[in-house]
Amino acid sequence: MEQANTNSENSRNKPDRKNLWILVAIAACITILISILVLFWCSTSSQPAIGVISRVRNFLFPRRSLAVEFPCAANLKQLGNAIIIYAHDSDGQFPTPEKWCDLLMSECKVPATAFICPNAKAKKGQSSYAFNKNLVGIDFDLVGPDTIVLFESKPGWNQIAGPNSWNPANHGGKGCNVLYKRGTTTFERAPKGKGLKWTPAGR
């Protein structure tokens, strides 16, 4: 009797293969649905399908080394959070562009290490990132969420620049990390950030 009960309990504890296959089928259907939605979105928007598919591919099968790019993006994310806090505490104003690095350090306690990409040739007291020159004199709340705020440039401090200062050298010439006004970061491969949104309106 005890042996029968034990066998019954073991059979209940075994994975239900039928349910497992059902879950696999559901996951496959979801993947197909997402693919269809992406293609439909591409056909109804100005975004080229090849570009979107390329980004999905790069996300799923990254060919670049994340050992350097991820910490670099994390630095930009930290700077982005500090900018958002600064704007909230300063009536919707960006840090004064001519001293944005100094203000983020003094007002938001951002460490000096956050200003340097781990693979950059920047020295202590320099920054690997530049502030988008198109945002000078613009209120934080008037800038579109997809507009670039910071991006990788040559080493300096309190730098204000545009696409011509785009510097992919930190990542073997493959691209740059950028920070958007919404606070997110991406790694972009387009030369000089072509196709990205540099103006306050996000165009």
Residue-wise DSSP of 55-86: HHHHHHS--S-HHHHHHHHHHHHHHHHHHHHH
- What is the per-residue pLDDT across 69-102, written as a single tens digit (0 to 9) for each? 688 999 999 999 999 999 999 999 999 999 999 9
Count of domains forming the chain: 2
Q: Report pLDDT for 66.
A: 44
DSSP 30-54: HHHHHHHHHHHHHHTSSS-HHHHHH
- The helix/strand/coil state of 114 is helix
One domain, residues 52 and 104: no
Mean pLDDT within 140-151: 95
Q: Tell whether 101 and 147 lie within a shared domain.
A: yes
Calculate ∠ Cα 124-128-133, nearest 5°.
130
Under the banding of pLDDT at 50, 70 and 90, the label for residue 67 is very low
Q: Is residue 6 part of a domain?
A: yes
In this predicted structure, the answer to whether residue 119 has a pLDDT above a threshold of 80 is: yes
Which of 41, 60, 79 terminates a domain? The answer is: 60
Rounded Cα distance between 79 and 162, Å, is 18
Q: What is the dihedral of CA 108, 165, 119, 75, to 10 degrees?
A: 20
Shared domain for 172 and 73, answered yes or no, is yes
Does residue 200 sit within a domain?
no
Statement: residue 127 has pLDDT above 60: yes
Give the contacts of 166 (CB within 8 A, at least 6 positions apart): 151, 152, 153, 176, 191, 192, 193
Residues 6+ apart with CB under 8 A from 15: none
The answer, yes or no, to whether residue 186 has pLDDT greater than 50, is: yes
Return the pLDDT at 65. 43
Same domain, yes or no: 151 and 165: yes
- CA pair distance 81, 118, nearest whole angstrom: 19
Strand partners, 187: 177
Q: Is the pLDDT of residue 12 over 80?
A: no
Which token pair is 107? Answer: 């007002």
This prediction has a pTM of 0.66
Residue-wise pLDDT for 136-145, tens only, equals 999 999 999 9
For residues 39 and 121, state if they share a domain: no
Structural domain including 21 reads 2-60
* Angle, helix 17-43 to helix 49-60, in steps of 10 degrees: 150
